[in-house]
Structure 1
Amino acid sequence: MTEQDPQIVYVVDDDAAMRDSIAELVDSVGMRAETYPSAQAFLDVCKPRHPCCLVLDVRMPGMSGLTLLERLQTQGAPIPVILLTSHGDVPMAVDSMKGGAFDFVQKPYREQALLDCIQAALSLDRDRQNQRETGHRLDQCVSTLTSRERDVFDQMLAGSTSKEIARALDISPRTAEVHRRNVLRKFKVHSTKALIALFAPAPAATQRAS
Structure 2
Amino acid sequence: MADKTVFILSEDPAIRNLLSELVVAAGLRAETLPSIEVWFETAAPKLPDCLVLDASVGDLVEPERLAEFTWACARIPILVLVHRGAVQTAVHALKHGAMDVLQKPLRVEILLERIKQAVEEEGDEGTVRWPGARQLRT
Identify the TM-score tier after normalising by the shorter chain: 0.7 to 0.9
Structure 1 partner of 2:30? 33
Identical amino acids, percent of aligned pairs: 32
Give 3-state SS (helix, strand or coil) of 2:97's partner.
coil
Residues 36 and 75 of structure 1, relative CA distance in 2, 3 Å threshold: closer
TM-score (norm 2): 0.78
Contact 2:54 / 2:60 at 8 angstroms: preserved in 1?
no
Q: Say yes or no: does 1:103 pair with 2:96.
A: no
| Stretches of structure 1 lacking an aligned partner (at least 5 in a row) | 136-203
1:62, CA displacement in angstroms?
3.9
RMSD: 2.7
1:207, CA displacement in angstroms?
2.3
Structure 2 partner of 1:123? 120
Which has the higher relative contact order, 1 or 2, with Cα contacts under 8 A spaced 6 or more apart? 2
Contact 2:59 / 2:65 at 8 angstroms: preserved in 1?
no
Whole-Å separation in 2 of the counterparts to 1:114 and 1:15: 18
| Stretches of structure 2 lacking an aligned partner (at least 5 in a row) | 134-138
Q: Map of 1:44-193 to 2, 5 A cutoff? A: 44-45=41-42, 46-49=45-48, 52-62=49-59, 66-67=63-64, 69-74=66-71, 77-124=74-121, 127-128=122-123, 131-132=124-125
Give 3-state SS (helix, strand or coil) of 2:51's partner.
strand
Structure with higher helix content: 1
Whole-Å separation in 1 of the counterparts to 2:87 and 2:53: 14
Whole-Å separation in 1 of the counterparts to 2:66 and 2:29: 21
Residues 103 and 91 of structure 1, relative CA distance in 2, 3 Å threshold: same
Deviations 1:153-185 (A, max 9, x none): xxxxxxxxxxxxxxxxxxxxxxxxxxxxxxxxx
Aligned residues: 130
Structure with higher strand content: 2
Contact 1:54 / 1:81 at 8 angstroms: preserved in 2?
yes
